[in-house]
């Protein structure tokens, strides 16, 4: 008798092969019908649950029985139910929803999440100080500011990119230079600071306004422009008057005319997003703004609380806010810079919303000088 598995010769009385351990079939004695072995019971079929994919807003997309896919509520891309990340923006599925105040946390993404952008791939590496590692196809390009380049393959060609009004754009006292890279090969970018990397897929006809110096990189089919914020205030020291721009003198505007693209931003701390309804307003610190839809209007807003007898309040303190009015989406970061000169404001840019004062002790030379300067622009 031989083992049917490995061919080893076995004694006639063996039940198991001494070579491979397989069970040995033994023939039934002559004149005796072979014993029929009952087939093993089939495993019960597992019920397939059509679970809605959720992230950004926390609201599921209802799925029909014939449609086994969901949509990312951050960027709208189609997600397979088995996937852990959106293929376009990298957002993890199953993210918590909005808070009671209406804010939603920026969708998190798992380390090494991959994003598809045209024929190229962007991989987000690291969570504390994230890196955007792009594998560029031969026909694809990406552009970026010169100070965020981390590493690249030798065959990736890097060249200067023309920039509208480049001589006016300054960062740290130096002209802002935009650079572009041509595939094939890998190239990686980092803002060299802790925070969150924001992936914004840009659809044809869509534009987004971004506060300056938060831009990391964008694919070549995302067009770049900038505009003056016209958000300023003035302070006075003796006979000297200084104009300050709490948002920066310029804002970046990104969009796409014909083909989808990918925009990458880097913000400090945590990022929170909110959708403002038509006519809905909110006050945020100017340096906390990350991005907004072009439909969102903005202006300066001032508060000068009445001391009310409480120790620690400064009778001359003026609080400066950025007033944002919907409709549209806005994003803020939890780490923001303090604004100098907030307590010595003598003039400001025009407020299109009417009365720029809220909860203030109206009176005194400080508020009077603000009103005079408010309509000088």
User: Of 115 and 87, which is predicted with more confidence?
Assistant: 115
Q: Is residue 79 part of a domain?
A: yes
What's the chain's average pLDDT? Answer: 74
In this structure, the answer to whether residues 77 and 206 fall within a common structural domain is: no
Tell me what the mean pLDDT of segment 222-243 comes to. 86
Predicted pLDDT of residue 104? 73
In this structure, the answer to whether residues 124 and 234 fall within a common structural domain is: yes
Predicted pLDDT of residue 51? 40
In this structure, the answer to whether residues 72 and 91 fall within a common structural domain is: yes
In this structure, the answer to whether residues 172 and 72 fall within a common structural domain is: no
Highest mean pLDDT among 11-15, 146-150, 300-304, 336-340: 146-150
Q: Is residue 3 part of a domain?
A: no
pLDDT in tens, 56-65: 333 333 333 2
Reply yes or no on whether the pLDDT at 182 is more than 70: yes
What is 62-116 written as a DSSP string? ---TT--EEE-TTT--EEETT-SB-TTT-PBSS-----TTS-EEPPP--TTEEEE
Predicted pLDDT of residue 203? 86
Collapsed DSSP state (helix, strand, coil) of residue 57: coil
pLDDT in tens, 297-356: 999 988 876 655 444 444 556 788 999 999 999 999 999 888 876 767 777 887 766 555
Reply yes or no on whether the pLDDT at 68 is more than 50: no
Reply yes or no on whether the pLDDT at 143 is more than 60: yes
In this structure, the answer to whether residues 92 and 185 fall within a common structural domain is: no
In this structure, the answer to whether residues 92 and 171 fall within a common structural domain is: no
How far does Cα 135 stand from its chain's mean position?
20
Structural domain harbouring 272: 111-374
Of all residues in the chain, the percent with pLDDT exceeding 70 is: 59
CATH of the domain at 231: 3.60.160.10
In this structure, the answer to whether residues 180 and 326 fall within a common structural domain is: yes
In this structure, the answer to whether residues 58 and 182 fall within a common structural domain is: no
d(CA 156, CA 58): 40
Q: Is residue 317 part of a domain?
A: yes
What b/e sequence results for 62-99 when a residue is b if at least 16 CB atoms lie within 10 Å of its CB, and e otherwise? ebeeeeeebebbbbebebeeeeebbbbbbbbbebeebe
What is the total count of domains within the chain? 2
pLDDT in tens, 247-283: 888 899 999 888 889 999 999 988 999 989 999 999 9
Highest mean pLDDT among 94-108, 179-193, 300-314, 341-355: 179-193
Tell me what the mean pLDDT of segment 229-246 comes to. 86
Predicted pLDDT of residue 66? 27
pLDDT in tens, 69-80: 566 766 666 666
Predicted pLDDT of residue 325? 94
Q: Is residue 348 part of a domain?
A: yes
Predicted pLDDT of residue 241? 84
In this structure, the answer to whether residues 204 and 299 fall within a common structural domain is: yes
Q: Is residue 96 part of a domain?
A: yes
d(CA 188, CA 38): 61
Closest CA to 254 of 209, 189, 211, 220: 209
User: Of 22 and 369, which is predicted with more confidence?
Assistant: 22
Q: Is residue 20 part of a domain?
A: no
Q: Is residue 178 part of a domain?
A: yes
d(CA 63, CA 313): 55
Predicted pLDDT of residue 217? 94
In this structure, the answer to whether residues 74 and 118 fall within a common structural domain is: no
In this structure, the answer to whether residues 89 and 176 fall within a common structural domain is: no
Q: Is residue 25 part of a domain?
A: no
Reply yes or no on whether the pLDDT at 293 is more than 90: yes
Predicted pLDDT of residue 372? 40
Collapsed DSSP state (helix, strand, coil) of residue 308: coil
């Amino acid at each position: 008798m031989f083992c049917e598995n490995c061919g080893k010769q076995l004694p006639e009385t063996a039940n198991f092969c001494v070579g491979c351990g397989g069970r040995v079939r033994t023939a039934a004695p002559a004149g005796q019908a072979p014993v029929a072995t009952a087939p093993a019971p089939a495993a019960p079929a597992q019920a397939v649950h059509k679970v809605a994919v959720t992230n950004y807003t926390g609201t599921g997309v209802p799925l029909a029985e014939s449609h086994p896919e969901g949509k990312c509520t951050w960027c709208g891309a189609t997600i397979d139910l088995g996937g852990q990340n959106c293929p376009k923006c990298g957002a993890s599925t199953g993210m918590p929803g909005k808070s009671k105040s209406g804010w939603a946390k920026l969708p998190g993404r798992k380390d090494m999440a991959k994003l598809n952008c045209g024929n190229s791939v962007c991989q987000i590496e690291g969570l504390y100080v994230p890196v955007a590692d792009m594998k560029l196809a031969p026909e694809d390009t990406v552009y970026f500011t010169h100070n965020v380049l981390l590493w690249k393959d030798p065959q990736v060609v890097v060249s200067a990119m023309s920039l509208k009004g480049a001589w006016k754009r300054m960062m740290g006292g130096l002209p802002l230079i935009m650079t572009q890279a041509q595939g094939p090969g890998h190239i990686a970018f980092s803002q060299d600071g802790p925070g969150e990397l924001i992936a914004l897929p840009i659809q044809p006809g869509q534009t987004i306004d971004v506060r300056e110096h938060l831009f990391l990189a964008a694919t070549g089919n995302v067009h770049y422009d900038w505009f003056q914020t016209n958000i300023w205030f003035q302070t006075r020291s003796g006979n000297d008057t200084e104009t300050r721009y709490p948002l920066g003198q310029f804002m970046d505007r990104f969009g796409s005319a014909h083909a989808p693209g990918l925009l990458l931003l880097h913000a400090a701390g945590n990022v929170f997003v909110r959708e403002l309804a038509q006519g809905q307003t909110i006050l945020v610190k100017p340096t906390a703004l990350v991005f907004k839809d072009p439909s969102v209007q903005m202006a300066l807003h001032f508060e000068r609380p009445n001391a009310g007898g409480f120790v620690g309040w400064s009778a001359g303190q003026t609080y400066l806010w950025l007033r944002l009015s919907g409709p549209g989406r806005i994003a803020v970061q939890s780490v923001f810079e303090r604004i100098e000169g907030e307590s010595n404001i003598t003039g400001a840019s025009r407020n299109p919303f009417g009365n720029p004062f809220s909860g203030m002790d109206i009176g005194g030379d400080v508020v009077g000088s603000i009103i005079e300067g408010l309509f000088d622009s």
